[in-house]
Every structure is written in structure tokens, then in C-alpha cells.
Chain A
Amino acid sequence: MAAKAKSAMDIVKLARAADRLHLRDYMALIADDFTELHGDRLVKDDRGLIGGFASIGGVKCLVLGHNKGSTLEENLESNFGMANPDGYRKAMRLMSLAEKFHVPVVTFVDTPGAYPGREAEERGQAEAIAKSLEFSAALKTPILVVITGEGGSGGALAIAVGDRILMLENAIYSVISPEGCAGILWRDGAKAAEAAEALKVTAPDLDALGVIDGIVPEGKTREETAANVKKAIVATLKHLSSIPVADLVARRYAKFRAM
């Protein structure tokens, strides 16, 4: 109920907070094992988006996620969790492996957006995201999406096509950053709070809009929040794994078809 008192911009700030749990923190807290695999087999190993096989509460899965850091040093290495095309292509490569060996996929979404850089454009940022959407929409294995922090536009969406979409209590998910929207529609980036309100970016908003399937409550401690995420992952993957894969893919299509 405390969430009711917070403004949309308060939640945007919480979602972006440096001390928020990031992918590596989750892996340390909830995975019995996380074995990272590298590279897109084409150009390089993007550090903004990472992935590997993991065991969470005894459930084997492929984990993919934006690699936001908690310190400046980590963020310089991981590009603040902003993926290049190579990151999305690595994600597709690993998803193919998951499909081949019937392993479910869990994605951790936490990015300001896809990296807006010269080389990103040269290597086809648009094509990489487009292909990711088409590819994951038809993947023949379960996909669970967890929006843990900042769900920033197309860069988030590229790994947010799944059978279930969960969102942390203080995460956000938006078509454009509140600052970007304010800059265009208010002609004043400082009006971000108004834009955040108008865009409806919080978990309860997105739940009401029918875009997400559930909200994961955040605890008083990091351990408590991580435990909630773990519980949600284990229960959801168990359920999704019981659905015949052809039905799963058909339902996934229908799910986005209705949006």
C-alpha cells in the first residue's frame, strides 16, 4: 500500500537506483549455479547483455539479461546495461540452444534502452531487435520474462517476449524514457515527472493495461526480494513446462495478438 503514496517518478528513480538488485546480484542470491556463455559467433561478446545456463531452486534454465552494474567501474564494462546488436544476437543464439535441448528461458529485463551508438547502428541495432521479436515469438520452449528494474523501450522489448511477464513492484516499463518523452511532447526534459505519470509506466499501471501477468513484491531486504523472485520463477517455470510446446507457442502469439 506504500506504493500508492509514491509518484510515478519516485518509482522511476527506485527502478534506476544504483543499489537496486541487478542480474549478477540475483544470480548470486538465487542460482545454485550460473554458467555464463559468451559471444554471438559473428562479431563479439557484448557485455551489456549476458546469458548462460543456470539452476534456480533445482530448475534448470537459460538465463538472459541486461548486465547493469552497481558501480561506475562495472557500468563502464557493461555499458550501463545497454546492449549492442551483438548482445541481442547472442541472446538469440543461446535461445536456440535452449530450444534444442528443451530448457526454459528466463529473461531479466533492466536497461535504459538499446545502446545508441555509431557501431550499434552500423551493425544493425534495428535489425537485431526486430529479429529478436520475431524469433522469440516463435521459440519452441517456455519463456518467462521478469522486468526487474528499468524496462527501457525496444532495448528491453527485444528480450521481453514471453509466455509470462512478471514485474517487480518498483520496476518500470515504457515505450520511451520519461525524459525523452518530456523533451519531445513537453519540449522540456525537466517535465519528466509529468511524462512518467502520463505514460503509465509502473507495475500496477501495466497490470491494469493487461501487458503484464503479475507483480513480484519487493521485500525489506535484498535477500527477501531475491527470494520472492526465485519463488515466482520456480513456480512459473514448473507451470509453463507442463504445457505442450505447440500450445505454448500458439498462446504466446495470442497473448501479444490481443495487445
Chain B
Amino acid sequence: MAWFELQEKKTKIPGAKALWTVCGRCRKYVPNAEWKKNSSVCPECGYHGRISARERIALLADEGTFEELFADVGYSDHLNFHDASGAYVDKVEAARKKTGEGESVITGKAAMEGIGVVLGAMDFAFMGGSLGTGTGEKITRAAELALAERRPFILACASGGARMQEGIRSLMQMVKTSAAIGRLKEAGIPYVSILTDPTTGGVSASYAMLGDINIAEPKVLIGFAGRRVIENTIHQKLPDDFQTAEYLLEHGFVDRIVPRNEMKSFIVKMLNYFGF
């Protein structure tokens, strides 16, 4: 109840929003500076708040080493898609404006503790991190670059799934990316998939689940079908921990749950074991 009163009060104080972040789980008020300093992880309850692709890259890449590539690859409105609320092209342009990104993934080269890698991060704020043709193309190019230069490929996933406004070609990105990752494996180049909140649908059913190592952040949502769809199908309530990182670990689909602040050192340690 306390948080609710606080929130009520907060909305009446001009500028309060600029100073505090409300934790998405425990609802505690955390000063923005502290929230940011802790990489958007709640210092009270350990909740891992969603972060942008740029913030993700800043956490993983050695400072000043990220060189963005394929930034010119964008969406494609080949269906001239319109729905009840308007044109896809307007929505995707709005997402571009809101996030400052061209697509739902950022890709490039970077160093991690001095190891040269290809690094990608998805941005959930960009149309729910949906997998469009531009997203798939950038990830595929990143994987192909990793193959050509024999660099480990590290990809942080955050997505609700395929981008239906791009129709069947959105679905085809699942094949394209998975095929490119398959080639990395044949060539003995590591591919590390980081599963962040949320990783579901067509993204979980393609490159997100194909890591040599699949790492999840604590408590994040990972799954194929949506909880409500499943509940409607089986006419049963699902357990609270259904489709959490911990649930996937228990069932054998992630290698490890790693807190955000330890993610980089964990990946570097694994790359060392792999001979990098």
C-alpha cells in the first residue's frame, strides 16, 4: 500500500519523476543516480530493469571500443501494412524517433577485456524488440562478420517475437539468422546468447536459444508461447515461476543465470576457456 501512496504523492510533485525510479517489482523509490549506477538493477530486491541496447553495449564492451556496423540497414514495408491504428511505416518511424535507433538491434565490433568480438544488443523499446527484416539482416551480417574474422559473437536478446507487420519475411529471419549461427558452430567460433527481459516467440525459437552458452539474467521472462495463450489452451492456471529464467534453468535450457553486473566477466571467462 505504501508504494501506492508514495506514487500518488509523487505525481503531485513537479519534477519528482526526473529524480526517482520506481522499481518494477518491489515498487521502492530509488534515486535515479543510484539506479543508473547500479545498471538499472534494484538495490533493494535485485530486480533487473529493462535497459536500452546502448546501455547493454556499454556494460559489455571495453570503454570506447564499440564500433557500430550495419547501422544503415533498416526496416522494410514491403506489405504496405496498415492496421486499425494506422500505417506500419508511421509506427516504425515513431519508434525510431523515440529510441534514436534505426532498428530493434544494434550490431558492431568491440573488445571485451581486450578480446575482439562481434557484439549485438536488441532494444525492447523499439517496437517490442520485434524481429523485422532489418533486425534479421543485421544479426546475420554480424554472424557472418564473426565468421570472416573469427571473432566470438555475443548477442543480447530482448524481444516479443516476430514483427507481424512485415509478414512472412519476418518469419524467414528466423531461418536466416539460425543458418548463419549454424555456420559459426561448424567453424568453431563461439556464439553466446544473453537472454534478457523478455525473450519470447520467434526470437526465442531461433537465435536466442542457439547459444553455445545461453545466459539469462535473473527472473527474466523466456518462453515460446504467451502465458495467456497457453492458459486458454489447457484451461489451467500456470505456476508463478512459469517461463522465468529460473524455470528454464531447472528444465535445462539455459546454462547459467548471471546478474547483470557480473555478465561481462562471466562471458570473458567462458571465452578464455574457449581459447580466446
**What number of A-B contacts does a CB cutoff of 8 Å give?**
163
Contacts of B226 in A (CB 8 A): 116
Q: Given A175-B170, A184-B164, do A121 and B176 touch, yes or no (CB 8 Å)?
A: no
The answer to whether A126 and B175 touch across the interface, beta carbons within 8 angstroms, is no
- CB 8 Å contact bits of A6-49 with B (1 = contact, 0 = none): 00000000000000000000000000000000000000000000
Q: Is B224 positioned at the interface, with any CB of A under 8 Å from its CB?
A: yes
Partner of A200, one of B85, B168, B224: B168
A126 to B225 Cα, complex, angstroms:
9
Say whether A3 faces chain B, with CB atoms less than 8 Å apart.
no
B97-140: which have CB < 8 Å to A?
A: 133, 140
Knowing A116-B230, A201-B168, A211-B169, the reply to whether A126 touches B208 (Cβ < 8 A) is yes
What range describes how many residues of B lie at the interface? 35 or more
Q: Say whether B257 faces chain A, with CB atoms less than 8 Å apart.
A: no
B208, B210, B224: the one within 8 Å of A134 (CB): B210
- B172 on the interface (CB 8 Å rule)? yes
Of residues 149 to 182 in B, which have CB atoms within 8 Å of A's CB atoms?
Answer: 162, 164-176, 178-182
Whether B224 pairs with A129 at a CB distance below 8 angstroms is yes
Contact A175 B168 (CB under 8 A): yes
Residue of A nearest to B248 (CB): A124
Instruction: Scan B232-267; emit 1 where CB is below 8 A from any A CB, else 0.
Output: 011010100011000000011100000000000000
Q: Which of A124, A129, A161, A201 contacts B251 (CB 8 A)?
A: A124
A123, B251: Cα distance in complex, Å:
7
Cβ B164 vs Cβ A181 within 8 A = yes
A: contact size bracket:
35 or more
Instruction: Tell whether B215 is near chain A: CB-to-CB under 8 Å.
Output: no
B182 CB to closest chain A CB, in angstroms?
Answer: 4
Does residue B21 face the partner (Cβ distance < 8 Å to A)? no
- B178–A121 touching, CB < 8 Å: no
* A150 nearest CB across to chain B (Å): 13
Majority SS of interface residues in chain B? helix
User: Is A111 on the interface with B (CB-CB < 8 A)?
Assistant: no
Inter-chain contact A256/B162, CB cutoff 8 Å = no
Q: Is A230 part of the contact surface with B, judged by Cβ < 8 Å?
A: no
The distance in angstroms between the C-alpha atoms of A127 and B202, with both chains bound, is 11
The winner among A133, A209, A257 for most chain B CB atoms within 10 A is A133
Q: Known interface pairs A120-B225, A157-B171. Does A133 touch B78 (Cβ–Cβ under 8 Å)?
A: no
Shortest distance between the CB of B262 and any CB in chain A (Å) = 24
For A191, the chain B residues whose CB sits under 8 A away are: 84
| B175 x A157 contact (CB < 8 A) | yes
* With A154-B171, A198-B82, A199-B164 as contacts: A126 and B234 at CB distance below 8 Å: no
Q: Give the residue of B79, B210, B230 whose beta carbon is less than 8 angstroms from that of A198.
A: B79
Beyond A120-B224, A123-B251, A175-B170, whether A130 also contacts B175 by CB under 8 A is no
Q: Which of A144-162 contact B (CB under 8 A)?
A: 153-154, 157-158, 161
User: Could you tell me the distance in whole angstroms from the C-beta of A255 to the nearest C-beta in chain B?
Assistant: 9
Chain B residues with CB below 8 A from A138, complex form: 179, 182-183, 186
Contact A259 B178 (CB under 8 A): no
Query: Would you call B178 and A117 a contact (CB within 8 A)?
Result: no
The reply to whether B224 and A185 form a contact with Cβ atoms under 8 Å apart is no
Asked whether, in the complex, the Cβ of B205 is within 8 Å of the Cβ of A154, the reply is yes
In the complex, how many angstroms separate the beta carbon of A47 from the nearest chain B beta carbon? 16
B207-A130 in contact (CB<8A): yes
Structural contact, B167 and A186, CB atoms closer than 8 A:
no
Residue A227, interface by CB 8 Å: no
Residues of B within 8 A of A173 (CB): 168
**What chain B residues lie within 8 Å of A194 (beta carbons)?**
83
Residues of B within 8 A of A256 (CB): 172, 175-176, 179
B84 near A186 with CB under 8 A, answer yes
Q: Which residues of A contact B170 (CB under 8 A)?
A: 175
Tell me, yes or no, whether B204 is within 8 Å of chain A by CB. Answer: yes
With A121-B242, A122-B251, A175-B162 in contact, do A130 and B208 touch (Cβ < 8 Å)?
yes
Residues of chain A in range 235-259 having any CB-CB distance to chain B below 8 Å: 252-253, 256-257, 259
| B181, A134: Cβ atoms closer than 8 Å | yes
Q: Mark B205-232, 1 if CB is under 8 A from A, else 0.
A: 1111110000000000011111001100
B242 touches A157 (CB 8 A): no
Q: Which residue of B lies closest to A172 (CB)?
A: B168
Known: A126-B253, A130-B174, A187-B84. 19 other contacts (CB 8 A): A114-B224, A116-B225, A117-B233, A120-B225, A121-B223, A121-B242, A124-B251, A125-B205, A133-B174, A153-B162, A174-B167, A175-B164, A175-B170, A175-B202, A185-B85, A198-B82, A199-B168, A201-B167, A257-B180
The 4 A-B residue pairs whose C-beta atoms are closest, nearest first, are A116-B225, A137-B179, A126-B204, A133-B178
